[in-house]
Amino acid sequence: MSRVDAHATTLLDIVYRFTNLYASIRNNTLLDSSAIIQEALALDSELAIWEVQLPNSWRYTTKPSTEHSDIVYKQQVHDYRDVWSARVYNHYRWSRILLNELVLVHLAKLGIFPSKDETEQNNHLQVVSEMATDLCTSVSAQFFCYNPQRARRRRVPAMSGCFLLLFPLAVAGSGIGVPEDLHNWVIQLLGFIGRKMGISQALLMIDFTKKHRETWQKLGHVQPDYFWMQAVDPE
């Protein structure tokens, strides 16, 4: 295994363990909110360390966009060394969004919010928003249907970026506490992918993304159950 591949393998192991944690919660084999919080915090810490320890060859830059496009978020774009590393980063981002949401949900179940540990709550909300923003900003680096020539240069199918971005976009757009404009941008992009490009799964995700956001808004930043993910869990 190359050193480059090793970083992706390390991330895969963390995401795998998060998936197992999520499955344990879904099938009610793990019910203790304190234990769930402890495991989620440990996994999130591993993810944060993973990102910090990446070599310079993995780093990306953020720069202003030179074009106005539906796939560019707030006129900012990411520049990655290749498409593969951009997609690896997005696994890191959606995992951190869901882990921090998980912590918020179960802190609330323990009755810690809203009167106690407001700083901790804000820290988790900030991580969710930062990861969602970075995920949306990364879209233009992976969405090649607009530029087939660029797809050929990158040696990737022009449509691949559309399919592989659906789940991360849904997670970002429905994240607890993400700005309204980010949520709306995700809904618009999913609508474009679904209606203009004929990818019906994108339209299905619009409904789930809206429902998830509406639920936590009604309950004050608390989403008690990830019911919407039953239809959009990544394989």
Question: Does 210 have pLDDT greater than 60?
Answer: yes
Most confident of 40-54, 73-87, 113-127, 138-152: 40-54
| Alpha-carbon 219 to chain mean position | 22
Q: Name the E strands within the chain.
A: 61-64, 76-79
pLDDT tens, residue by residue, 91-108 = 999 999 999 999 988 888
DSSP SS3 for 233: coil
Q: Are 74 and 134 in contact (CB under 8 A)?
A: no
pLDDT band at 90 (very low <50, low <70, confident <90, very high): very high
pLDDT band at 227 (very low <50, low <70, confident <90, very high): very low
Q: In this predicted model, which residue has the larger pLDDT, 156 or 53?
A: 53
Give the dihedral of Cα atoms 200, 202, 208, 211; nearest 10 deg: -110
Closest CA relative to residue 78, chosen from 144, 135, 131: 135
Comparing 44-48, 157-161, 183-187, 211-215, the range with the smallest average pLDDT is 157-161
| Residue 111 φ/ψ region, left for φ over 0, alpha for ψ in the -120 to 50 degree band, beta for the rest | left
Closest CA relative to residue 24, chosen from 43, 48, 47, 2: 43
> Which whole number is the average pLDDT over 47-58?
95
Closest CA relative to residue 91, chosen from 145, 131, 45: 131
| DSSP output for 86-114 | HHHHHHHHHHHHHHHHHHHHHHHHTT-TT
Q: In this predicted model, which residue has the larger pLDDT, 78 or 115?
A: 78
Give the dihedral of Cα atoms 217, 219, 224, 229; nearest 10 deg: -20
pLDDT reported for residue 60: 94
Pairing of strands 76-79, 61-64: antiparallel
